[in-house]
Amino acid sequence: GAVVSQHPSWVICKSGTSVKIECRSLDFQATTMFWYRQFPKQSLMLMATSNEGSKATYEQGVEKDKFLINHASLTLSTLTVTSAHPEDSSFYICSASHRSRPEETPETQYFGPGTRLLVL
């Protein structure tokens, strides 16, 4: 249980184009999903918290107009990198919160396999 998928796993695009990454919880509903960015040999950096049906909460320093997040349903959140540039090349990982027991608070984050973005 608690499987999270991401699509695509790899994307190469030209500078100036927009890229959409999907994050899906496959066997549970997730009220909250998170988007992270990870540079090589570094830790995960939280970009934003996405709640179903409401606007995402962005971390300090993350441009909300650059990284558009939509959490349209309890199983799907999308991250759109608008007008991508080479410096946006990175590994993007999403997570979805899931409660393995009814009394578990807060929920545990389960991660997707990640999306490697390369902007040429």
CA–CA separation, 16 vs 18, rounded Å?
7
Count residues near another protein (CB under 8 A). 23
Strands 10-13 and 115-119: parallel
CA–CA separation, 82 vs 69, rounded Å?
11
Q: Pick the closer one to another protein by CB: 17 or 39.
A: 39
CA–CA separation, 12 vs 85, rounded Å?
11
Using the rule CB under 8 A, which residue among 95, 96, 117, 119 binds another protein?
Answer: 95
Q: Is 93 in the site for another protein (CB under 8 A)?
A: yes
Q: Which of 112, 120, 119 has the alpha carbon at shortest distance from 78?
A: 112
Q: Is 68 in the site for another protein (CB under 8 A)?
A: no
Using the rule CB under 8 A, which residue among 34, 35, 58, 67 binds another protein?
Answer: 34
Q: By CB under 8 A, which span of 19-27, 42-50, 62-70, 73-81 interacts with another protein?
A: 42-50
User: CB 51 → another protein: shortest distance, Å?
Assistant: 11
